């Protein structure tokens, strides 16, 4: 499923020459529209790497879980920390589960 961008939150990484989601997308699919809001072009080419979701500094990008796994309303939201990533998983009933993992570093 392609990323869903909350345009109320997206600020287009103002102050940067290129938004972070555009810089990190391995498929060169993320870009800004005429209002400086991020979007994925074309959806069918996104392979769900979630790089844009992880790097968004304002949490404007979320990954929708395919209906085969989570049905409508299920979400998987990463929050990057300095050396950890916290995954928030919301199922179709609104139940929330969080998982926190230490990021890989060169010392590991």
**Residues labelled as active-site residues:** 47
For CA atoms 24, 4, 43, 91, the dihedral sign is positive
Q: Which residues pair with 38 in a beta bridge?
A: 32
Residues in contact with 78: Cβ distance below 8 Å, sequence separation at least 6, in sequence order: 50, 53, 54, 85, 86, 87, 88
Residue 40, Cα to own-chain centre: how many angstroms? 11
Write down the residue that tokens 């392609």 correspond to. Answer: 2
């Amino acid at each position: 499923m392609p990323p869903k961008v909350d345009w109320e939150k997206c600020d287009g990484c103002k102050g940067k020459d290129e938004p972070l989601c555009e810089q990190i997308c391995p498929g060169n699919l993320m870009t800004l529209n005429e209002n400086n809001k991020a979007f994925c072009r074309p959806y069918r080419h996104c392979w769900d790497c979630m790089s844009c979701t992880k790097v968004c500094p304002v949490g404007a990008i979320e990954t929708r879980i395919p209906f085969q796994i989570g049905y409508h309303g299920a979400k998987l939201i990463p929050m990057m920390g300095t050396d950890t990533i916290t995954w928030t998983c919301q199922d179709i009933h609104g139940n929330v589960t969080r998982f926190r993992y230490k990021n890989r570093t060169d010392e590991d």
